[in-house]
Amino acid sequence: KYWKPAGVTCTSDRNDASNVIARGGFDDLDQRVFTVGRLDKPSTGLLLLTSDGRACEALLRPSQKKEKRYVVEVDRAPTADDLRALREGVTIETVAQRDRKAK
């Protein structure tokens, strides 16, 4: 596990100087490791890393239909319109989110 600071990119691409593998010091390990999930570059938070690709697939493959929860801090209480917009789907990096469980 690794607490990702802001400014680190969730990628193993060595061409990206801010990649999580190098910045976290994981590039010296004997086995290749990669993240289980992603956080946006400006975000901070806990990342799981593994050398077992089966773990990633079991947790992240859409066909597994694993529920995901996100905890965010907001600068005000969401309005009914805000919650309705979230339930209808929010585009994040061109992927529409449609869990319809915003509370």
The residue type of 55 is A
40 is annotated as an active-site residue: yes
- 13, 40, 52, 99: the catalytic one is 40
What dihedral angle (degrees, nearest 10) is formed by the CA atoms of 12, 16, 17, 23? -20
Answer for the pair 66, 86: CB distance below 8 angstroms, yes or no: no
Q: Annotated catalytic sites, by residue?
A: 40
